[in-house]
Amino acid sequence: MRPARRRLQRLARPRAAEPLPVTLDRRRIYVLPTRFGLFVAMLLGAMLLGALNYNNNPALLLALLLGATAVASTIGAHLQLSGLRIETVAAEPVAAGTPLRMRLALARQDGRPRRGLRIDHGDAKAFCSLDSAHQADPQLQVPTVQRGWLELERIRISTTQPLGLVRAWSWVWPQQPLLVYPRPEHDGPPLPDGAGDARHSRLHALGEDLHQLRPYRAGDAPRAIAWKHSARRDSLLVREYERPLGTEVVLDWRRLAPLGDEQRIARLARWIDEAERQGLRSRLLLPGQPPLGPGLGPQHRHACLRALALLP
């Protein structure tokens, strides 16, 4: 059934990827009865035939009232999606093979509550409601296979509220790919030897070399207090240590010439994560691109992994 569903999706709106934000209107909302709704329709039809056959006015009135309720529930399901606004689609990059946690920002422009909203993207699904809050951020686990930009498929937003007789749904096709980092090498060689000047240092609570003694400040750890020196001066003194900044690790693409392109990317991704864990400054050299770094921290790691992910 999946190929047939994809053919039908091509006929639904939107027929191409669209930039966000997007507001759902009546021309892109579809409504069809559920299985329970079909059963209720057959039951009402039998009630109408019986009431007309036996000229039973109370039964006829009851069937018409139930039919009017079903029609009202159809309009209510349509109103659950009408005016709903999809603001953004975002996700923190992850390594290939790890599920991507995609966040979908939904908002409403009126005071009507939205209940029982279901969001589907492939095999991933999530549920949310907009009762008192004007915004909701449902999350979906999207599987990843390869590095680079992940082009999103159509996202279906549906609901069966208020009575479950019909299902109203609409499609959103964001023109906003998500970034997937390369998968690091599982077992590989250690980081290459560093280069540069390692004589510089910085203050660090877990350092090894004593730098100085300073007056105690609120929040200092008790183990850092120099009790002997404090007893001589009748005031608390705290030890400050220093740690070497470490040498600069150069990660050069050309030095991995015997490996294939994907193996080079996996090894460099592993070395970038290892340098970040060890607190070492790293410089990444890629063909046809300016050097990245030397640097340290989340921004430098993201810049390096992004450059590796987007390599051809």
Does residue 196 carry a pLDDT above 60? no
pLDDT in tens, 36-56: 999 999 999 999 999 999 989
Residue given tokens 């690091």 in the structure block? 184
* Cβ atoms of 105 and 137 closer than 8 Å: yes
The mean pLDDT of 90-104, rounded to a whole number, is 93
Cβ neighbours of residue 254 closer than 8 Å, sequence gap 6 or more: 285, 287
| C-alpha separations of 66 from 40, 45, 78, 203 in Å | 9, 11, 19, 76
Cβ neighbours of residue 107 closer than 8 Å, sequence gap 6 or more: 84, 85, 87, 130, 134, 135, 136
Does residue 155 carry a pLDDT above 70? yes
Identify the sign of the CA torsion 140, 141, 147, 152.
negative
Nearest Cα neighbor of 120 from 152, 85, 69, 154 is 154
* Cβ atoms of 168 and 78 closer than 8 Å: yes
The fraction of the chain above a pLDDT of 70, given in percent, is 91
The mean pLDDT of 6-30, rounded to a whole number, is 86
The mean pLDDT of 213-224, rounded to a whole number, is 77
Q: What is the pLDDT of the chain when averaged over all its residues?
A: 86
Helices (H) and strands (E) in the chain, counts: 6, 18
pLDDT in tens, 107-130: 987 888 898 999 999 889 999 998
Q: What pTM, to 2 d.p., does this model score?
A: 0.75
